[in-house]
Amino acid sequence: MLRHDVTPEEAGARVDVLVARLSGASRSLVGEAVRDGLVRVNGEIVKGSRTLEEREVVEYDLPMHPPLAAEPEHIDVPILYEDDDIVVVDKPAGMVTHPARGAVHGTLVNALLAHTGNLPGNALRPGLVHRLDRDTSGLLVVAKNDETLRRLGKAMMARRISREYLGLVHGVPEHPRGRIEGPIGRDPHNRLKYAIIAAGKPAVTNYELHEVFPKHAELIFHLETGRTHQIRVHAAAMGHPIVNDPLYGRDEPRFGLRGQALHAWRLRLRHPRTREDLVFETPPPPAYLRAKELLR
């Protein structure tokens, strides 16, 4: 077992948070070690939520998992545009963007590796400049070489890549346009969710009313930042959760959707090499359109 003496700066931290920080392992892997009795404080088996005091001794022995790597898989994915530098795809709802524990195969990255032969950057997220939730459909731009990945990454950080989404929500917002600001971080009560919390990262979502139904509305969302689940968290926070959102609203089988009614429909960027302004649009998938008809 590895041993660590708790410093004054670390006092008050949860043991699972500290072990994850010390080891570089994921919280889920540390949680597995805690449940197996492989994390101890002062020689005693503890819960992951145990808070630490200065000079206590933490011992841990984390199970080793084989490293994940994205492998090419021949999966058809709609491609709207491609050249030597970028590829713009229309990700289907239900497809995970990149491999992770529990979703190693069938991802967008697997498909693109088979299509392009090679992608730059992180072994699990090669070529990715941004991501979409599994059940959110729509547009993604992917870099095909290192220089493009670097330039697009800088453009994304500088907010020079514009992303707009269509979403069906419960209720009709009072104002036809609005701006939602609220820092987003892990929900302290549910590790699967995100929430607006003081310690979260800054997040800004703009919206405008696109169409009104008797008890619902379709909104256009424009992201200024790109936090995980951002639109879903902000929509729920303003009292208008996305239709059929199992995490931030409720399951609604009558719509026949795989998940939340959210679609990345418009993408604007300047080509990283030619400097040409590019605009891409793709209509929502049939399941989204059928749900929209039901709302009418």
Give the catalytic positions in this structure.
133
Taking 3-state DSSP, the helix, strand and coil percentages for the chain, each rounded to the nearest 5, stand at: 20, 30, 45
Cβ-count burial 65-84 (b if 16+ within 10 Å, e if not): eeeeebebeebebeeeeeee
- Give the span between the Cα atoms of 134 and 187, in whole angstroms: 19
Contacts of 89 (CB under 8 A, 6+ apart): 77, 78, 79, 80, 108, 112, 139, 140, 142
Asked if 284 and 295 touch (Cβ cutoff 8 Å), the reply is: no
246: tokens are 């199992």
Contacts of 11 (CB under 8 A, 6+ apart): 52, 53, 54
Asked if 63 and 38 touch (Cβ cutoff 8 Å), the reply is: yes
